[in-house]
Amino acid sequence: MIAINQAEIAVNLFFQSLVPWLQSLMQVITLLGSEIFYILFMPVIYWCVDAWAGLRIGVVLLSSASLNGFFKILLKGPRPYWISDKVTAGAHESSFGIPSGHAMNSASVWGWSAVEAKSRRAYWAAVITVALISISRLVLGVHFLSDILLGLVLGVLLILIFGKIQQPLGGWLKKQSLTTQILLAFVSSLLFIGLSALAVTLSDGWQMPADWASRAGEVNPLSLDGVITTAGLWFGMLGGFAWLRERRGVLQSKSGTWQRLLRYVVGIAGVVAVYAGLGAVLPKNLGLISAVLRYLRYFLMGLWISCLSPLLFEKMKIGRIEPDFEGKSTAPFSSKN
């Protein structure tokens, strides 16, 4: 694998040699596939466009992120700037390289968003966006071409699998009690953590080669922080949505004009409060305690997005929640609009 990576460095060097300003441009484009972008901009679909579509896109995103973290730890691939002084690092990354999370997550999220939109323009926009994000990772020297290709393949496979199972699975979940749905959301979040923890356990005794470490900077590629983040969001989002739908109904995201903008402003203020506020005060480097607190922090963020913010919107009279009648939805993850 390392021999292949050495050969692939030529691809990174080619892109980095094109024009001096390309790295600056790609540092902006790569943000379209970053965690902060998804946190700040993806909730707009749930709050202001279509709650059901927002939920499904969230499921795809979090599934992709969790699986990507597992494969990274399992495969333990370096990044280009870890193994070559010739490659300029346009960003610092602390995880392993293969498969590319930006490529995998963008292919799954933007791809499924195009499926939701059911528009030729949306499909082309998704293809162009995913291509630009993928190229940005090569230009910035943080991924090999093989990292990108595997990420894209896994992202597309996830879309195909989700498209096949979402309605049957949703139909089965709809027959379960609220307690069972919330329990399943919690247990599945722990399975995400367990999968990556297993990969870490199988890596017992592994040490980063000295030449990688000398170039990589401060990294912790076997860290479970990423999957704990995803697992907390997963439980908060799905558990919160299940509770809200059962007790009150579903947020009517398409209602209002100026109210949509206000919903986003209020909603994102809550996200920032949890993300930045709790992130600043919760203790770090305390082992298991810090891991539990991280899970709780992101659980609260997911709960805010799916459940607490819609309740606040209703109180503020900038949104409404309506019961989810039998004829209105065929499954928890699908809707008839």
Query: Residue 268: what pLDDT?
Result: 94
Confidence of residue 336 (pLDDT cuts 50, 70, 90): very low
Residue 335 belongs to a domain: no
In a domain, 334, yes or no: no
Q: Which two tokens stand for residue 239?
A: 């558990």
Residue 333: pLDDT above 60? no
Residue-averaged pLDDT of the chain: 89
Q: What is the model's pLDDT at position 98? A: 93
Helix, strand, or coil (residue 250): strand
Q: What amino acid occupies position 167?
A: Q
State pLDDT tens for residues 132-171: 999 999 999 999 999 999 999 999 999 999 999 988 998 8
Q: Using 50, 70 and 90 to split pLDDT, how confident is the model at 335? A: very low
Q: Model confidence over 202-221: pLDDT tens digits?
A: 988 888 898 888 888 888 89
pLDDT, position 119: 87
Where does residue 200 rank: exposed (0-12), middle (13-18), buried (19+ CB within 10 A)?
Answer: middle
Residue 8 in domain: yes
| Higher local confidence (pLDDT), 257 or 310 | 310
Is residue 81 situated within a structural domain?
A: yes
Domain holding 99, by residue range, is 2-328
Looking at the domain assignment, is residue 337 inside a domain? no
Report the relative pairing of strands 321-322 and 250-251 from DSSP bridges.
antiparallel
Classify burial at 121, counting beta carbons within 10 Å of its beta carbon; exposed 0-12, middle 13-18, buried 19 or more.
Answer: exposed
Three-state secondary structure call for residue 284: coil
Residue pointed to by tokens 């399992």: 74
Continuous H helices in the chain: 2-16, 22-29, 35-41, 43-48, 51-75, 80-83, 101-117, 120-139, 145-174, 178-202, 210-216, 225-247, 258-272, 279-281, 288-303, 309-315
pLDDT tens, residue by residue, 260-304:
999 999 999 999 999 888 777 777 777 788 889 999 999 999 999
Count the domains in the chain: 1
Q: What is the pLDDT at residue 325?
A: 59
User: pLDDT value at position 337?
Assistant: 39
Domain presence at residue 135: yes
CA dihedral (173, 179, 185, 191) positive or negative: negative
127 assigned to some structural domain: yes
pLDDT of the residue at 175? 87
